[in-house]
A and B are shown apart, each in its own frame.
Chain A
Amino acid sequence: MIKAEWFYWLVGGIFLVMAAQMLTDRSNPKRLGTAAFWGLLGLGFVYSTWVVDKSAPPEPLGAAVLVMVCLAGFGFTGRGKARTTTPEQRVASARRFGGKLFVPALTIPAVALICAVGVKKLSLGGEPVLQKGSETILGLGIGSLVALAVGMVMLRERRITVPVHAGRSMLEAMGWAMLLPQLLATLGSIFSVAGVGDQVRRITTAVLPEGSVLIAVVVYCVGMFLFTVVMGNGFAAFPVMTAAVGWPVLVEQAHGNASAVLAVGMLAGFCGTLVTPMAANYNVVPAALLELKDQYGPIKAQLPTAVALLGCNIVIMAAFAF
């Protein structure tokens, strides 16, 4: 069985190799801090395997995460000069290879597709080939490795250090944004353990007037939206707002269609995901990947759509769920 942990180890390994390259990269004025950040990240990926199966204590990993936060948060990380091709060389190379360049790039989605649709159902000796529940991750991982092999052969590139270096300059460009999504997942679990959800529920119930279904719909949808903005994802907001308004008021008191109320309520939360820097993997990491100067560029592009869609969700719920 192909396991997701193998790919986490591979990603950890990539981070460690890159950290070693960073350590000797004299073009980076902050090479020590940079190497320490990515090295810790790589070690964390590997050590996490034992934290997940509970055979190692999570505290040392937590301390390492906080060290990474300080390294990146106080500006001890930087980036080296990327050794890469010039724009002219790229245009010439694009002319030379032409459409063939798309083959490895499209191999990633193609293999991900095959894994999600076909390989998912295969089993070998009674065990599924792909670890259950991790098929999308595995499809992406396997697709990338196949694409890398195809690309190296097609471009006649023999040095494995070339793709590693090329990937590294993208990682250095992303910098701290890389760690943020995982840190936010942590914040979500701390918020729920500390009882932030209960407090929000108490406030919502206190401000909600009795008797008006429309107002309750607005409070549920806007509450999902706002709480998602703060938490960075709708999954954290959903249990809180549903326990406060969605279920007791909209479904039980007003006899709303439960499927309609809850499905649309979740989508109102997704509108919040479109406008929050807390949803780093959707909004901040892409800004770094696309080398935008304004890290809020994607959010600004999404804001009008998000507000309009929030309105749509309120209308859909009010019109069809009761």
Chain B
Amino acid sequence: MLVLLGVLVVVIGFATRRNPLLVVGVAGIATGLLGGLSPQKVLAAFGTGFASSRAVTIFVITLPVIGLLERYGLQEQARRLITRFAGLTTGRFLALYLLLRQITAALGLVSVFGHAQTVRPLAAPMAEGAAERRHGPLPDATREKVRSFAASADNVGLFFGEDVFLAVGSILLITGFVNTTYHTHLEPLQLALWAIPTALCALAIHGWRLLRLDRALAGGDAGAGAREVLDRKATK
């Protein structure tokens, strides 16, 4: 039972908003020692864990070129581009992004989109640009909301798209674990097919919430809401 203290450390640490690095570091050391590992083994666990998980940090390699392009106005150009499509509101644009992210992930193309390579330089400024066209300069809280939803569209699309693809890590983990532990034979194709109902629910639920975002943005001031109605009439 004592090893569960590590879980408790994590929960309390996040609840009291301590620095997450310290929380995780302390939880790791405490769990390791309580679980009967020697201090040397705990150090070794931190070392091997770092070495074998470098893939999650590989996105750093995109930062220099993204930074270079931003210096030359990539985000501003993304904002300008979106204003040319009058019917593309923030919500509709992000719903479209969600759909694209989910389809590409379902085809196994998980690195084609991502927070560093597409959300920060393209999707977030476009979503903001669409909101600014309708509602004028955005207050800080609204801007944060639009950006947060841009990040959420990427995550939801990825998580509930990738499992429809056969050779993705989670599907292989399921077949690997079950086939070796229970001496049975599960086909990746069957698992991937069973991911489809949830994928459709994810698209419907989050897509709907993204579309509703337009209404929340319009709710900020009545004038903007009226403008939106006029815009909609004009585009039809």
Query: Which of A's residues lie within 8 Å of B, judged by CB?
Result: 4, 7-8, 10-11, 14-15, 44-45, 47-49, 51-52, 57-66, 68-70, 72-74, 84-85, 87, 89-95, 97-99, 101-102, 104-105, 108-109, 112-113, 116-117, 134, 136-137, 139-141, 143-145, 147-148, 151-152, 155, 157, 162-171, 176-191, 193-196, 199-200, 230, 234-235, 238-239, 242-243, 247, 257-260, 262-264, 266-267, 270, 273-274, 277-278, 280-287, 289-290, 292-294, 297-298, 300-302, 304-305, 308-309, 312-313, 316, 320
Contacts and interface: CB of A to CB of B under 8 A. Distances in A.
A170 B72 contact: no
Interface of B: 1, 3-4, 6-7, 10-11, 14, 19-22, 24-25, 27-28, 31-32, 34-37, 40, 42-78, 80-81, 108-122, 124, 140, 144-145, 147-152, 154-156, 159-160, 163, 169-171, 173-174, 177-178, 181-182, 184, 186-187, 190-195, 197-198, 201-202, 205-206, 209
Contacts of B169: 235
Given A195-B35, A267-B160, A185 B20 contact: no
A62 B43 contact: yes
Given A263-B195, A278-B24, 6 more contacts: A62-B42, A69-B21, A90-B72, A163-B68, A190-B28, A277-B20
Nearest to A75: B19
Contacts of A49: 51
Contact of B201 (A69, A298, A312): A312
A199 B3 contact: yes
A185 B52 contact: yes
Nearest to B110: A136
B19 to A, nearest CB: 5
Q: Which 6 A-B pairs have the closest CB atoms?
A: A194-B35, A166-B67, A186-B49, A58-B47, A94-B73, A48-B51
A185 B177 contact: no
A104 B69 contact: yes
A263 B46 contact: no
Nearest to A267: B198
Given A11-B60, A185-B56, A238 B51 contact: no
Contact of B178 (A87, A168, A242): A242
A189 B51 CA distance: 13
A168 to B, nearest CB: 8
B194 A264 contact: yes
A94 B163 CA distance: 38
